[in-house]
């Protein structure tokens, strides 16, 4: 399969669980797509990263965001709502990656314009397989929007 993205993809993982961060890193490291995985532990830092504020003044614009819903400080729904309300950021695909199986969370995420909703498997091997399937789909099949000048 040819690599559709000659440069590395910029991924933002918004996740407060260190175990899930480790599994996600492991899955991406073993994957075929070169990427730069940036991690922030809460919604407030995610918004700082996206708006390039404070310690994230030089942060790259992510090609894709993996967003947990259950976050400290600012929850994932609030991040998603603010992100999709911003004309400069709304085209960045957001994949909700969360442990919640609640139908209302699924519905609310799509109402807030999430591009996909994935439930984290409990089993570590299944988690890694889910991330790899996500990676293959989003970076080998889907055409992502071009970066906009800011």
Look up the CATH number of the domain holding residue 75: 3.40.50.2300
Answer whether residue 146 is part of any domain: no
More confident residue, 3 or 125: 125
- Can you give the pTM of this predicted structure? 0.87
Q: How many domains does the chain contain in total?
A: 1
pLDDT of the residue at 132: 81
The model's pLDDT over 59-89, given as tens digits with 9 standing for 90+, comes to: 999 999 999 999 999 999 999 999 999 999 9
Answer whether residue 2 is part of any domain: no
Decide: 139 and 119 in contact? Cβ < 8 Å: no
Q: State the average pLDDT for the chain.
A: 87
For 29-143, list the strands marked E by DSSP: 35-40, 64-67, 94-98, 116-119
Share of the chain above pLDDT 90, in %: 55
């Amino acid at each position: 399969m040819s690599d559709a993205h000659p440069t590395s993809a910029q991924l933002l993982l918004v996740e407060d669980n260190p175990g899930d961060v480790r599994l996600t890193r492991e899955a991406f490291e073993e994957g075929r797509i070169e990427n730069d995985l940036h991690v922030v532990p809460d919604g407030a830092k995610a918004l700082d990263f996206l708006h390039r504020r404070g310690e994230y003044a030089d942060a790259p614009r992510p090609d894709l965001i993996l967003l947990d819903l259950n976050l400290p400080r600012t929850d994932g729904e609030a991040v998603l709502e603010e992100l999709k309300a911003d004309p400069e950021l709304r085209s960045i695909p957001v994949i909700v990656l969360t442990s919640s199986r609640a139908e209302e969370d699924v519905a609310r995420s799509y109402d807030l314009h999430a591009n996909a909703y994935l439930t984290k498997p409990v089993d570590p091997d299944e988690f890694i397989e889910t991330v790899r399937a996500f990676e293959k789909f989003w970076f080998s099949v889907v055409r992502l929007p071009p970066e906009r000048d800011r």
